[in-house]
Amino acid sequence: MAPLFRRPSRDRDGSLRIAAERGRLLVEASPELVLVVDEDERVIAASGRARRELGAQDGANLADVVVGSPALRIPYEVKGRRESLVYVTGPGGPPYDELRTAFTAAVSHELRTPVARLLALLETAQLPGAAVGKLLEQARSQVDEIRELVDDVLFLSELETGREVVALRATRARPILEGVVERFAERGHRADVTLRVEADAEVEVPLRPRMLRVVAENLATNAIRYAGLGATFTLAVERSDAGVVLRARDDGVGVDEEDLPRLFERFYRGDRVRASRGTGLGLAIVKHVVTSAGGTVEARGGPGRGLEIRCFFPSS
């Protein structure tokens, strides 16, 4: 049988280019979770499934994409460049089982606290002379927290199983962002956080309206909860030759620099906000939506320097 890839000494008929394109298509069309990484462990190619399920974008660090050790690594060399073909175990393999177990444990832990508070409030309401109305209002707040956590978990699961089409079409960003700021204005006022929008009316983001709204709502919620008193939070969209950038920035108390790389992990909260109300899933949802649409997301800032979440969507 003839070899799949030929290596002609010269490329007079474009054979090398054709072979390279054939290889790229084979990787992208693979039903497996497969990545190609360079010697610096940066992703240079990925199957469609790996892009959807792992958020594996070109240039991403392998350690940020793959949990645990890859199932198989095949190193090779092309014209002096060392690269590796990396296969990741999908559902049913040990890494997936470990991740699922950890996720289940985290959900259980996050639910335990509001449930315990709710039970304590209801028991207190049964005592003679209890301020029932005030206690019921507090209990309702705990129910809202439980419902928010369950909704976030279900939504994240919906995204990961592929039932939610994220980037079906482009959406003009400003009307969506203004709608979010308007709806969150009262919450911002109570937290003493001012919300603003900066965006050209014609700039579009490659997300469905619902998905853009989800991203903006989670970014606004994060700022309202954690930016601090007197902070200003701005949702901004700008277009360049390279693509479109959605920025969510505040001038609040900021985040410890060692926490920045972990802000998009599920349930992660830094020490300063660990006792705060919140599911710890908002920024994880933002990252999943953005990467599913072919974009990247990063956090910048530091103590006393506020926080900026930058979502970049490259030009197609």
Q: Is 31 exposed, middle or buried, given 0-12, 13-18 or 19+ CB atoms closer than 10 A?
A: exposed
In the structure, what pLDDT confidence band is assigned to residue 94 with cuts at 50, 70 and 90? very low
Choice between 236 and 101, residue whose per-residue pLDDT is larger: 236
Nearest by Cα to 225 from 197, 187, 262, 186: 187
CATH superfamily of 171-314: Histidine kinase-like ATPase, C-terminal domain (3.30.565.10)
Question: Measured between alpha carbons, how far is 195 from 198 in angstroms, rounded to an integer?
Answer: 10
93's CB contacts (< 8 A; 6+ apart) are 71
Please state, for a pLDDT cut of 70, what percent of the chain lies above it.
Answer: 71
Instruction: Give the architecture-level CATH label for domain 98-160.
Output: Orthogonal Bundle (1.10)
- Determine which of 243-252, 263-272, 298-307 has the lowest per-residue pLDDT on average: 263-272
First to last CA, the chain: 38
Helix and strand counts by DSSP (H, E) for the chain? 8, 11
What pLDDT is stored for residue 260 in this prediction?
A: 83
Q: Which helix (H) or strand (E) holds 81?
A: strand 81-88
Kindly list the domain boundaries of the chain, sorted by start residue: 26-88, 98-160, 171-314
Tokens of 144: 């809202």
Whether 187 contacts 224, CB under 8 Å: yes
CB atoms within 10 A of CB 66: 23
pLDDT tens digit string along 25-61?
777 777 778 888 888 888 888 888 888 777 788 888 8
- H helix or E strand, kind and range, residue 233: strand 231-239
Tens digits of per-residue pLDDT, 164-205? 555 557 889 999 999 999 999 999 999 999 999 998 888 999
Q: What is the pLDDT of residue 272?
A: 47
Q: Is the pTM of this model over 0.75?
A: no
Residues 6+ apart with CB under 8 A from 81: 38, 39
Mean pLDDT for the chain overall: 78
Q: How many residues does the chain have?
A: 316
- Which secondary structure element, helix H or strand E, spans residue 227, and what is its range? none
For the residues 267-278, what does the mean pLDDT come to?
A: 50
In tens, the pLDDT along 217-249 reads 999 999 999 899 999 999 999 998 889 999 999
**Residue 249, pLDDT score:** 95
**Which residue, among 301, 306, 309, has the nearest Cα to 285 in the 3D structure?**
309
Determine which helix (DSSP H) or strand (DSSP E) holds 313, and give its type and residue range.
strand 307-314
